[in-house]
Amino acid sequence: MANFTGLAAFLAALAIASAVPGCAAAAEQPAAFVEFESPLASAQPLQGLLRRPERPGPLPAVVLLHGCSGQWRELDERWGKRLAAWGYVTLTVDRFGPRGISNTCTGDVPAATVHDAYRALSFLSRQSLVDPTRIAVIGFSQGGWLALLSVERGAIEINATEKFRAAVAFYPRCLGIKGNMSVPTLIMVGELDDWTPAQECRNLAEGRDDDGISRQQGLGYPIELIVYPGAYHEFDIPHYSTPAQPLGHHLEFNEQVRDRSIDALKKFLYATIGGQEKTQ
């Protein structure tokens, strides 16, 4: 009887582990370093980290864009691994390395990087495991602004051959975005963020321009905005469990908010680009 009980407990535990996101084998597979086939103006192509879940395709996919400090490998560890465990192919783009850039936190977004999301989309669209009709872009801070720029109606989106199906921006700068979005869009920002203020994103989501003046309504997709009380910039990065003040801005990890953003992201992606079951 003791042996039977032990076997039953083992089988139950195995079943639970198989059902829980994050326990999938995809989470344990190392990311593959890739160079994009579309070259830049320089001699070097873009590069990134690609994760392929061990599941039959075609699968939905996600392009991940880092912030002004680079840290693209860390971004892949935080979010690429998690998204792959959920069943998404992920490509975390290194926007800086091939261009010899180390940091852009004291300047503007490099003009050469504004098409990088679409270069990544083009690469993913050619992968046999990927469903090219179900690819989203997710950006963080400066990368979040680029994600929004990539999907608002304008020259970049209109002239792109392949199209994104959804966009997510974590604590982005919301200034300079017109708000006429071509796809469903989610923005998540901390109420106490002093680098990319929540009010600027409220203006964007509520149809006001950078000066707070109402824009024409009914253009494009509405923006879903989540403002997290008590949260600062980079609330998803455990490195800032001890708060920091780079360039005078407060950075602080918030585990509760990070977990809530994980749930919000999972629901949004499922609603917009779906999961594996959508292909069956």
pTM: 0.86
pLDDT of residue 270 exceeding 50, the answer is yes
pLDDT of residue 154 exceeding 80, the answer is yes
Stronger pLDDT, 18 or 197, i.e. the higher one: 197
Task: Determine the Cα–Cα distance for residues 104 and 96; give it in Å rounded to an integer.
Answer: 9
The string over 45-75, giving b where at least 16 C-beta atoms fall within 10 Å of a residue's C-beta and e elsewhere, is ebbbbbbbbebebbbbbbbbbbbbbbbbbeb
Q: What is the pLDDT of residues 205-264, one digit of tens each?
A: 999 877 777 766 667 899 999 999 999 999 999 999 999 999 999 999 999 999 999 999
What is the average per-residue pLDDT within 30-53?
A: 83
DSSP 8-state code for residue 54: S
| pLDDT score of 162 | 94
Stronger pLDDT, 229 or 3, i.e. the higher one: 229
The CATH code belonging to domain 31-279 is 3.40.50.1820
What is the average per-residue pLDDT within 67-76?
A: 95
- Tokens at residue 83, please? 């998204």
pLDDT-derived band at 179, boundaries 50, 70, 90: confident
| pLDDT score of 78 | 96
| pLDDT score of 53 | 94
DSSP 8-state code for residue 184: -
pLDDT of residue 278 exceeding 60, the answer is no
| pLDDT score of 75 | 97
Residues in contact with 222: Cβ distance below 8 Å, sequence separation at least 6, in sequence order: 181, 205
Beta-strand (E) ranges in the chain?
32-39, 45-51, 59-65, 89-94, 130-140, 166-170, 185-190, 223-228
Q: Which of 49-58, 73-82, 212-221 has the highest mean pLDDT?
A: 73-82
Q: Whole-number mean pLDDT of the chain?
A: 87
Q: Long-range contacts for 276-280 (Cβ within 8 Å, ≥24 apart)?
A: 276/55, 276/56, 276/59, 276/87, 278/60, 278/134, 279/57, 279/58, 279/59, 279/131
- Domain positions in the chain are 31-279
- Tokens at residue 55, please? 């599941």
Stronger pLDDT, 188 or 16, i.e. the higher one: 188
Stronger pLDDT, 57 or 74, i.e. the higher one: 74
pLDDT of residue 56 exceeding 70, the answer is yes
pLDDT-derived band at 15, boundaries 50, 70, 90: very low
What is the average per-residue pLDDT within 193-210?
A: 93
pLDDT of residue 71 exceeding 60, the answer is yes
